Structure 1
C-alpha cells in the first residue's frame, strides 16, 4: 500500500472513530477580524473640545472602536439615560447627576471615577471695560447676565450658589437670562446678547471674544468635578469599560485636559 493510501486510510479511520463515540468533527476556521464597536459618550458640553481631541488619540491603538459624542447639559443627559436613550458612558459636570443614576442602578458598579475638575469665572465681551468684580453686576450698564439653567446645567447651579453667597442674587435676578448649556452662555456673551456671563475657565480659554473678569472663590460653590461611569444598558460594556479606564488614567488624556484648562490630578 502506498504511503498516500495509508494516510487516507488512517484519516477515514479516525473520522469513523469520532463519529462512533459521538464526538463532532471540528474543522478549523479562519480567525475572524476584530469587529467594529460603536461607543456613544454622553458628556457635558464644556468637555466638547477636549473630548474631540482625545478621540483620534484613542483610535490610534483601537482602530476598531468608533466613538460618537452626545454633548449637552448634564441634567438633560441624565434624563435621557433615565428615559432609556442609548449611551455607553456618561460624563457629567457635577456629582449630582451621576449620583442620581447610581441610585437608580443605571450605572455599571465599579466604573465610576473622576475625569477632571474646573473653575467658574465671570466673563464679559472683550471690548467691555469697567467691570472688575462680581459686584459690578449691579451696575446699570450691565443689563443682561447669562447663566446656565440651574435645574439642568451644573454651571448654572454653581453660578447661583456664588451669587447667593455674595448676596447679589436678589438684586440682579431680573437681569438673569438662562441658557440650556454652558456653551450657550459663552455664545451669548461672545455675541453681545449678554453683558456678562458665568462660565467655566475652560470655556473662556477657547474664546477670543470674551475676557475673564474674576474667578469665583471655590468656597462659594460646590466642588466642580467631572465624574464618569459606564451606563448599564450599554451593548458594549467591555469596550466602554476600556475607554472609561483610558479616560480616567491615560497620560495622553491628562495632557489634553490640561491644555484646555481643566484641573487633573
Structure 2
C-alpha cells in the first residue's frame, strides 16, 4: 500500500472514530462586515416606539399621571398626549393627523370616525363616564341651579361650543329639556373646549358655566352649585379606539389594555371619573 493510500485509510478511520465519539463538525458563526449572522445576534431591546394619543381636554390630569406608569411598564414605548376638544381632535384625524389612539368625550365624534372607517372597530369601547355640573366663581353665588340662569342679574354664561365641543352639546341638551336654551343664547360665552369654559368662570368673565364634574374638581376658583340630572342629557361616555393609520397598532392596543388595568382605574377614579 503506497503512502497516499495509507494516509487516506488513516483519515477514514479517524473520521469514523470521531463520529462514534460525537465530535462536532459545525462551522463557527462568521460575521460579514459589521452584520452578524443570525446565530451571533445578541438579545437586544425592541425598537423604541412613540404613540400619539389624542384625548379630550378633560383627561389632561388623569392621563398626565397614567402616562409615566405605562412608560415604566413598557420602557420602549413613549406616549405623546395631544389634548383638545373632541370635535377638534376628530377633524385633525379626518385631515390626516398621525394619531395612534383617540379618546373622545362623547360617542358622536367616535361614531363619525367609525363611519369613515378611520378606527379599528373591534378596539372601540367605552372607557369612562362623567357628570355635568353647574359652576359659579368661588366667591360669588348668582346662580344655584340651571333655572336661575334666566335671571336678569346673570349676564354671561360659559358653555362649550355645541357645534364641536361635547360638554357644550350636553349643556345644550339639558337646557333644551328645561326649555331654557333659546332664551339664554344671548348670554352664552362659547369655549373651544371644557378647560376654556372653566377659565371663563375662574376669571369672572362668566357668572356661571357648565362643565364636567372632573374639571370643576381641578380648580379652587370655582364651586359646584348643582350636579345636573343625568336624565336631561345623553350619557356622558368616553369611547376609545385605535386608528387604522397607526403604524404601531400592537403597542396602541397594549396601551388600551393598560388603561383598563387597576392602577389606571384608580387614577381615573381619583380624578372623579367612573370607570366602565
Which TM-score applies when normalising by structure 1?
0.89
- Residue 22 of structure 1 is matched in structure 2 by none
- Residue 65 of structure 1 is matched in structure 2 by 77
Structure-2 separation of matches of 1:168 and 1:48: 31
Gaps of 5+ in 1: 16-24
Question: Which residue of 229, 232, 236 maps to 1:220?
Answer: 232
Q: Give the C-alpha shift of residue 121 in structure 1.
A: 0.4
Structure-2 separation of matches of 1:202 and 1:66: 26
- Residue 240 of structure 1 is matched in structure 2 by 252
Q: Give the C-alpha shift of residue 131 in structure 1.
A: 1.9
Say which one has the larger Rg: 2
- Residue 254 of structure 1 is matched in structure 2 by 265
Cα displacement string for residues 79-134 of structure 1 (whole angstroms, at most 9, x for unaligned residues): 11111101000000000111111111111131111110000001000011242111
Gaps of 5+ in 2: 1-9, 28-36
The answer as to whether partners of 2:142 and 2:207 remain within 8 angstroms in 1 is: no
1:143 aligns with 2:174: no
Which TM-score applies when normalising by structure 2?
0.86
Q: Give the C-alpha shift of residue 26 in structure 1.
A: 5.3
Question: Which residue of 52, 76, 79 maps to 2:91?
Answer: 79
The answer as to whether partners of 2:137 and 2:208 remain within 8 angstroms in 1 is: yes
Paired residues, number: 249
Change (3 A) 1:26 1:263: closer
1:45 aligns with 2:57: yes
1:34 aligns with 2:46: yes
- Residue 263 of structure 1 is matched in structure 2 by 274
**Over aligned residues, Cα RMSD in angstroms?**
1.9
